[in-house]
Amino acid sequence: MRLNRRAFIGTGVAATAALQAPMVWSQGRARVVVIGGGAGGATVARYLAKDSNGEIDVVLVEPAKHYYTCFFSNLYIGGFQDMADLGHSYGTLAAEYGVNVVHDWAVGVDRDAKTVTLAGGAVLSYDRLVLSPGIDFVDGSVPGWDVSVQNKMPHAYKGGSQAELLKAQIEAMPEGGRFAMVAPPNPYRCPPGPYERISMVAHLLTQVNPTAKILLVDPKESFSKQALFEEGWQKHYGGMVERIGPDFGGDKVEVRADTMEVIIDGNAEKVDACNVIPGQKAGRICEMAGVTEGNWAPVTGHTMQSRIDGNVYVLGDASNQGDMPKSGYSANSQAKVAAMAIRGELLGSSVFPAKFSNTCWSLIATDDGVKVGAAYEATDEKIASVSSFISQTGEDADLRKQTYEESLGWYAGITSDMFG
Amino acid sequence: MIKALVKILGLAALCGGGGIAHADLLGDAKRGETLFRDCRSCHQVGEGAQNRIGPHLNNIFGRKAGSVGDDYRYSKGLARMGADGLIWSFDTLDAYIENPKALVSDTRMAYRGMKDEKDRADLLAYLRDFSASPANIPESQPTARPREVELSSETLAIVGDKAYGEYLASECLTCHQRSGSNEGIPGVVGWPVEDFVIAMHAYKRQIRPHPVMQMMAGRLSDEEIAALAAYFEDLE
């Protein structure tokens, strides 16, 4: 879609645009519009504003005035966090960093005109656009489930009110009742997330409904931290969790929300609460902007620039970049690379080789934390994993407690890195 | 050196992307697919792969040696290596494919070995695609090797004291021959200062794998590394 100089000169309208663009560059401030105020978007907005000495006009478009992080929402379900503590506002980004925060939905992107249209009718022009919308769900991923039944069978996979709803439904289960989770197919946000959630639901039920059962229906043969979770479930919640993998029909599942049934390979199971985490794709705005291929938006790992349009950057879950898992930590890491690259383009500042990292902490039970992490570097083909580590089974209690405490420190760190 | 790199990258960014590879992928998977023809008479890989004469190679990266299951019968030596804790990784597979009997004396894998390093890297890059993806299972094994360490110009600018270097080098010469021989242990005689310094810092930061070198480099200061570098560069 990028037009070269000759194409610009070709038509009168385009020629006007070509004359205007350098005007913005030299006289006005260059403008970066960021869509989505999560771990990718808030971070890139903050770094662009912070490091450009006011030379870049940063506009952050995010519908929510209070943003509730999806990461740590499992700890809310387990009773280890208050929802209020997971909420953050954009006041500091606006007041201290000069980010222009617009609480609205982006409903359209015109990449030729370089404009974003908001639901409220406003049209924002941009020099560079950053898309960091997170995930949406793939239609028909779990037959019988769509967003119209999300209040009967919550996905609880975007944090906030859905997590509150799921917790309330689990707490309301009859004594000895059954909770089911339909786990998502790869790739999805937060690889250990569904399994940490199983741990937290088990922890909650152990307190309020100890004879209850958990049914985990999983289309995947294996999952991240599997040995650690399975060891933990046995140790802390012996006999409560039953996992049905693809060898027993875990990949042939449908749900009936009106009768609260989960049908596994043709066999109906009645459940009392059900968490359906469907297959995922890039947040819808990426598709609207025409920067997706398949379910995700391909980017180059050197800069996080869209492979379809160099004026567009895509961060976090929505991007297809290679080896990094979809996580808040990854999005935050990618945002810093993108901010550096965008400043390099617009202001000519130094651009260093891209470096990325990710760590995912999970809580299995009280003071029983584990982690997995890796370092990544950019290649022309993709962002590639160059080393990784994982907590070991059988670690002593002190180390596990230390790991949990480390995760609390990380939460404080990343949220202040995002919101200031 | 760093400055030059920055310049090139800045230019690439201004031109709208593309750029320099900073990490090296394990190898060329496409070429590896062709090389795998040699293996295919015994091993299967990919969807529906079964154990044949040799075990299937799906999820080989990260698998404990001798543990494919499904009643596949391994040689005693391979089973023992698994019990001893051998995990298949790029490095262990590379050593095995180079010379199977060097790693597992009584292996039944009747293959003389793939001598060319690049062939092995390409073959392993091909096989890596049939093991867990780091995007889905972050702890799964790397798909690339990290780039060499970059150092600040201050570190690179330390001018080494050759006399001190000579003293320190006595420890190195126990293994690295004064003659510069590359037999078994790589020679270090006549290495350019910059290469030497970068390599030693890579060991020191445990980016380059080798337990002995990590231990040796780990206790050297920046000045000591500079001194060694100056000494070895001038050796003939």
Q: Enumerate the residues of chain A whose CB falls inside 8 A of the CB of residue B147.
A: 353, 377
Contact criterion met (CB below 8 Å) for B87 and B62? yes
Return the H-helix or E-strand segment holding B30. helix B29-35
The domain spans of chain A are 5-136+280-349, 142-276
Q: Is the pLDDT of residue A169 over 60?
A: yes
CA distance B163 to chain A (A): 36
| Separation of alpha carbons A170 and B88, rounded Å | 42
Does residue B163 sit at the A interface (CB-CB below 8 Å)? no
| Separation of alpha carbons A241 and A195, rounded Å | 11
| Separation of alpha carbons B114 and B27, rounded Å | 15
pLDDT of residue B88: 94
Does residue B132 sit at the A interface (CB-CB below 8 Å)? yes
Q: Is the pLDDT of residue B58 over 50?
A: yes
- Note whether B142 contacts A348, CB cutoff 8 Å: no
| Separation of alpha carbons A286 and A273, rounded Å | 33
Residues B179-190 pLDDT 10s: 777 765 678 889
pLDDT of residue A367: 97
Q: Enumerate the residues of chain B whose CB falls inside 8 A of the CB of residue A298.
A: none
- Note whether A222 contacts B10, CB cutoff 8 Å: no
**What is the percent of chain A with per-residue pLDDT over 90, rounded to a whole number?**
82
CA angle in degrees (0–180, nearest 5) for B110-B112-B116: 140
| Separation of alpha carbons A11 and A8, rounded Å | 6
Best probe of the B interface among A379, A382, A383, A389, by most B CBs < 10 A, is A379
Does residue B218 sit at the A interface (CB-CB below 8 Å)? no
pLDDT of residue B85: 82
Q: Enumerate the residues of chain A whose CB falls inside 8 A of the CB of residue B12.
A: 302
What is the rounded average pLDDT of the residues B85-89?
A: 89
Closest chain B residue by Cα to residue A346: B14
DSSP type of residue B149: P
| Separation of alpha carbons A43 and A416, rounded Å | 9
Q: Helix (H, G, I), strand (E, B), or coil: what is residue A180?
A: strand
Contact criterion met (CB below 8 Å) for B120 and B29? no
Residues A51-100 pLDDT 10s: 898 999 999 999 999 999 999 999 999 999 999 999 999 999 999 999 99
CATH 3.50.50.60 applies to domain A5-136+280-349: yes
pLDDT of residue B77: 85
Strand ranges across the sheet with A241-244: A241-244, A213-217, A178-182, A273-276
Q: Is the pLDDT of residue A182 over 80?
A: yes
Nearest by CB: B23 against A191, A348, A379: A379
How sure is the predictor about B145, in pLDDT bands with cuts at 50, 70 and 90? confident
CATH superfamily name and code, B29-145: Cytochrome c-like domain (1.10.760.10)
Closest chain B residue by Cα to residue A338: B13
In the beta sheet, which residues pair with residue A242? A215
Does residue B23 sit at the A interface (CB-CB below 8 Å)? yes
Fold of B153-234: Cytochrome Bc1 Complex; Chain D, domain 2 (1.10.760)
Q: Helix (H, G, I), strand (E, B), or coil: what is residue A135?
A: strand
Nearest by CB: B23 against A187, A305, A384: A384
CA distance B139 to chain A (A): 5
Count the Cβ atoms, other than its own, within 10 Å of residue A93: 25
- Note whether A300 contacts B18, CB cutoff 8 Å: yes
Q: Identify residue A198 by its one-letter amino acid code.
A: I
Residues A129-145 pLDDT 10s: 999 999 999 999 999 99
| Separation of alpha carbons A62 and A89, rounded Å | 11
pLDDT of residue A40: 97
- Note whether A351 contacts B6, CB cutoff 8 Å: yes
| Separation of alpha carbons B232 and B236, rounded Å | 8
- Note whether B25 contacts A384, CB cutoff 8 Å: yes
Question: Which has the closest alpha carbon to A105: A67, A62, A148?
Answer: A62
Q: Which residue has the tokens 């360490």?
A: B149
Q: How many CB pairs under 8 A join A and B?
A: 131
How sure is the predictor about A41, in pLDDT bands with cuts at 50, 70 and 90? very high
Q: Tell me if domain A5-136+280-349 and domain A142-276 are identical in fold.
A: yes
Q: Tokens standing for B89?
A: 């990784």
CA distance A64 to chain B (A): 29
Percent of chain B as helix, strand, coil, to the nearest 5: 45, 5, 55
Q: Tell me if domain B29-145 and domain B153-234 are identical in fold.
A: yes
Best probe of the A interface among B8, B20, B137, B153, by most A CBs < 10 A, is B137
Contact criterion met (CB below 8 Å) for B215 and B206? no
**Residue B117: exposure state from Cβ atoms within 10 A (0-12, 13-18, ≥19):** exposed
Q: Is the pLDDT of residue A163 over 60?
A: yes
Best probe of the B interface among A111, A340, A388, by most B CBs < 10 A, is A388
Q: Helix (H, G, I), strand (E, B), or coil: what is residue A355?
A: strand
Q: Enumerate the residues of chain B whose CB falls inside 8 A of the CB of residue A345.
A: 13-14
Closest chain B residue by Cα to residue A371: B139
- Note whether B19 contacts A302, CB cutoff 8 Å: yes
Closest chain A residue by Cα to residue B21: A379
Does residue B138 sit at the A interface (CB-CB below 8 Å)? yes
The domain spans of chain B are 29-145, 153-234
Q: Tokens standing for A191?
A: 């690889």
| Separation of alpha carbons A140 and A123, rounded Å | 33
Residues A200-249 pLDDT 10s: 999 999 999 999 999 999 999 999 999 999 999 999 999 899 999 999 99
Nearest by CB: B142 against A303, A386, A390: A386
CATH 3.50.50.60 applies to domain A142-276: yes
- Note whether B23 contacts A341, CB cutoff 8 Å: no
Nearest by CB: B21 against A345, A374, A380: A380
Closest chain A residue by Cα to residue B29: A381
Nearest by CB: B17 against A303, A324, A385: A303
Contact criterion met (CB below 8 Å) for A218 and A246? yes
Give me the phi and psi of B173, to 5 degrees please: -70, -10
Give me the phi and psi of A70, to 5 degrees please: -70, -40
CA distance A193 to chain B (A): 11
